[in-house]
């Protein structure tokens, strides 16, 4: 058996190993190792299609691993301090909203959440303002029927970051810390709503 054969078998085993992994960081690390072994195998064999393929895949896997490690670190920081979605920006798409536009209406199908970069929104049913740095639409993911519970209207031209619930679910399962962060985020919103309701009931009873 030649050195090239040994490297090829090791690379193939590492690829097999990636299919048994449930989290993205170890998967990316093993993927990078398999890329390195396939590059060596492709050079020595020689097997140029494999060499070209894994030469292209190696920087991609390194980039994705760096993204995931940054995300995990920022999630850890987020759970220690103020709750915001700044660290989720790489996983979102940008969108502008004009004053007077309705972002979504109560009972609409809920399929995404938003981070307010600039501008201002209002929760129509409550008269509550939502400004830069705050999150919109996260409760819809937890609603049994996944519909919007409030109407959100833009009152000042705004820029928002959009992330689909499917992406949120992937991040939730790939990163346990993100799951903890998301529970903190939604719990805070629920407690704020309860406190607001209790205040209104107290004012009516006064």
d(CA 116, CA 188): 17
- Asked whether the predicted pLDDT for residue 101 surpasses 90, the reply is yes
d(CA 78, CA 86): 9
pLDDT of residue 153: 94
Q: Is 156 left (phi over 0), alpha (psi -120 to 50) or beta?
A: beta
Domain ranges across the chain: 3-80, 87-205
Burial (CB count within 10 angstroms: exposed 0-12, middle 13-18, buried 19+), residue 159: middle
- DSSP single-letter state for residue 187: H
pTM, 2 dp: 0.51
∠ at Cα 142 (139, 145), nearest 5°? 105
At 6-64, the pLDDT tens digits run 888 898 999 888 888 877 888 889 999 999 999 999 999 989 999 999 999 999 999 98
At 166-190, the pLDDT tens digits run 888 877 776 666 666 677 777 776 7
What architecture does CATH give domain 87-205?
Sandwich (2.60)
d(CA 64, CA 67): 5
d(CA 146, CA 150): 12
Closest CA to 177 of 91, 64, 71, 92: 71
pLDDT of residue 205: 66
At 155-166, the pLDDT tens digits run 999 999 888 888
């Amino acid at each position: 058996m030649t050195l090239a054969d040994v490297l090829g078998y090791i690379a193939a085993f590492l690829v097999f190993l990636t299919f048994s992994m449930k989290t993205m960081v170890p998967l990316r690390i093993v993927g990078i190792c398999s890329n390195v072994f396939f590059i060596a195998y492709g050079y020595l064999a020689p097997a140029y299609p494999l060499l070209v393929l894994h030469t292209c895949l190696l920087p991609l896997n390194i980039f994705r691993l760096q993204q995931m490690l940054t995300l995990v670190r920022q999630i850890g920081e987020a759970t220690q301090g103020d709750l915001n979605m700044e660290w989720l920006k790489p996983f979102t798409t940008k969108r502008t909203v004009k004053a007077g536009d309705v972002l979504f209406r109560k009972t609409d199908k809920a399929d995404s959440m938003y981070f307010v970069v600039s501008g201002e929104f209002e929760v129509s049913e409550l008269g509550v303002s939502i400004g830069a740095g705050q999150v919109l639409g996260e409760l819809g993911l937890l609603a049994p029927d996944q519909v919007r519970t409030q109407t959100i209207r833009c009152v000042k031209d705004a820029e928002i970051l959009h992330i689909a619930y499917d992406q949120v679910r992937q991040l939730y399962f790939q990163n346990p810390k993100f799951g903890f962060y998301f529970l903190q985020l939604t719990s805070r919103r629920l407690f704020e709503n309860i406190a607001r309701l209790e205040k209104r009931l107290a004012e009516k009873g006064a």
